[in-house]
Amino acid sequence: MPPIKRLLAGSALASVALAQPAAADTLQEALTQAYLYNPVLLAAQANQRATDENVPINRAQGLPSADATATYTEFVKTSTNSFTSPDRVLQIGPQLNVPIYSGGAIKNSIAAAEQRVEAGQADLRGTESALFSQVVAAYMDVLLGQAVTSLRANQIDVLQVNAQATSDRFEIGDLTRTDVAQSEARLALARGDFRNAQANLISARETYIQLVGETPDNLQPPPALPGLPENVETAVAVALEDNPDLIAAKERAQAAGFDTEVAGSGRLPNVGVFANGGYNNYFGTLAGGQAGISQAETTANVGVQLRLPIFQGGLPAARQRQAQARETAALEQVIAAERDVIAQVRAAWSSWQASLAVIESSQVAVDAAALSLEGVRAENSIGNRTILDVLNAEQELLNSQVQLVTARRNAYVAGFTLLAAMGRAEARDLNLGEAGVLYDPELNYQRVRGKIWDWDRDPEPVAEATRTVDLPAANADIAEEDDFADRID
């Protein structure tokens, strides 16, 4: 088995072995919590529902419309030359308009709206993927912060023992004041590094709370990443087909093409039919209520209206040129999105591969540094090594351990980033559907696309995201007996 695959297999086995406690927080639980209650994602879903409504909004322009007006007029002063002026009148006039042909404007505006719905759904996938990438990074940062803090704390314990032993040996004349000063200096530096590690851990936990909405308690090792590609060419090919940002850019470009057709329809004729009715009631005041004159009347008319634009000062042409320029911009943005996707995939692949190589070399370094430290301590006990040699060996071991856990974190985050760029890091790919929590934007679109009733409305808006104001501030507490370095394996 190649080294990289062997390393992945070992990491997966370690993760499975360490992920046994039933009450622990897992990465999937964190992703599910963020998926259900993160305000950024919930807002994106709501915005997509708003985008869905553009289809019935544009379709309404091509449907019949009916309205009625009622006017009551009291004539407080009439013309002295009029012998029939009424004192008051009630006028009721219903109207029906049915558009027949609009130069293709309605048809193309509906098509553009439908394309933007599909683009919005792709954008929503991208928002999911971006959120999950942030959650994974935050999850791994907490594990890394715990591991580094634990290593730093352990280093302080070791250096305290060294400093005490050095001081004792100085008292009996076995070592010099320089040896004591070197031990105390390393201990002071270690305490400063420990405080920095604590600050980084608190920051990582706060970021986790911001994204997930819960406190990170007892986070367990993440599972092995599924579906990682064999090579970068495969990754790029998949991304060019499935990356949501690229799909959204293509859909918007198609929508822009329909916008160009809509702009051009302004120079074409419009045809519609209409029907009007009228009812007037003079309340017996017309012509002073003279007999033989009807005090109420009804009228009706129907017809066809043709509007043929002849000259509009170049307005339709200007609108169409403007739409064509925007369509060109949208087409260029497709290429820009394609370039961005290719760059993302290749960079993520490179980072992933580099991190895997660093893991392998760092593990060798840790093993060698541990063996070296053991030898240096033994040689120091017989006078062949100085205190500085021991301190340097201890620092080399610590540096190797920190580099190892950091590389493990970087490898996992880079691998997930690679999957996200390939369009394979969304809720449907992460088995979140097993809990029945998947949000399907198509359901809302199908629900509203054919609605034509003017009084059909949804329930009052209510925020669903969880607030974090009541959660306690994060701290840097760690369980001393726990080996956090293994959790990030």
> Domain ends where: 252, 277, 308?
308
229 and 336 assigned to the same domain: yes
Query: How much is the pLDDT for 33?
Result: 92
Kindly state whether residue 274 falls inside one of the protein's structural domains. yes
Tokens 């683009």 sit on residue? 119
Query: How much is the pLDDT for 80?
Result: 76
The pairs formed by 82-86 with CB atoms below 8 angstroms and a separation of 24 or more are 83/287, 83/288, 84/286, 84/287, 84/293, 86/282, 86/283, 86/285, 86/286, 86/287
419 and 372 assigned to the same domain: yes
Query: How much is the pLDDT for 482?
Result: 60
114 and 225 assigned to the same domain: yes
Kindly state whether residue 325 falls inside one of the protein's structural domains. no
Query: How much is the pLDDT for 19?
Result: 34
Q: Enter the pTM of the model.
A: 0.87
Q: Is residue 57 within 8 Å of residue 237, measured between CB atoms?
A: no
On the 0-12 / 13-18 / 19+ scale of CB atoms within 10 A, 349 is buried
156 and 90 assigned to the same domain: no
Kindly state whether residue 326 falls inside one of the protein's structural domains. no
Domain span holding position 397: 3-62+106-267+331-487
Kindly state whether residue 313 falls inside one of the protein's structural domains. no
User: Could you give the CA distance from residue 359 to residue 407 in angstroms, rounded to a whole number?
Assistant: 6
Query: How much is the pLDDT for 136?
Result: 97
198 and 298 assigned to the same domain: no
Kindly state whether residue 319 falls inside one of the protein's structural domains. no
Tens of pLDDT, residue by residue, the chain (489 residues): 333 333 333 333 233 333 333 334 899 999 999 999 999 999 999 999 999 999 999 999 999 999 999 999 998 888 777 778 888 999 999 999 999 999 999 999 999 999 999 999 999 999 999 999 999 999 999 999 999 999 999 999 999 998 998 898 888 888 889 989 999 999 999 999 999 999 999 999 999 999 999 999 889 999 999 889 999 999 999 999 999 999 999 999 999 999 999 999 999 999 999 999 999 998 888 877 778 788 899 999 999 999 999 999 999 999 999 999 999 999 999 999 999 999 999 999 999 999 999 999 999 999 999 999 999 999 988 888 888 999 999 999 999 999 999 999 999 999 999 999 999 998 888 887 665 678 999 999 999 999 999 999 999 999 999 999 999 999 999 876 566 666 666
Kindly state whether residue 257 falls inside one of the protein's structural domains. yes
Query: How much is the pLDDT for 10?
Result: 33
Query: How much is the pLDDT for 2?
Result: 37
Query: How much is the pLDDT for 261?
Result: 95
**Does the CA dihedral 263-264-268-272 come out positive or negative?**
negative
Among 34, 58, 168, 174, CA closest to 116: 58
Q: What is the CATH number of the domain that holds 84?
A: 2.20.200
Kindly state whether residue 228 falls inside one of the protein's structural domains. yes
Query: How much is the pLDDT for 140?
Result: 97
User: Could you give the CA distance from residue 68 to residue 217 in angstroms, rounded to a whole number?
Assistant: 64
Number of domains in the chain: 2
Q: What is the CATH number of the domain that holds 116?
A: 1.20.1600.10
Query: How much is the pLDDT for 3?
Result: 34
**89 phi and psi, to 5 degrees?**
-155, 145
Query: How much is the pLDDT for 24?
Result: 45
226 and 182 assigned to the same domain: yes
How far, CA to CA in Å, does 268 sit from each of 39, 59, 110, 135? Answer: 46, 19, 18, 53
354 and 385 assigned to the same domain: yes
80 and 120 assigned to the same domain: no
96 and 191 assigned to the same domain: no
71 and 159 assigned to the same domain: no
Kindly state whether residue 323 falls inside one of the protein's structural domains. no
Length of the chain: 489
160 and 75 assigned to the same domain: no
Query: How much is the pLDDT for 399?
Result: 94
280 and 335 assigned to the same domain: no
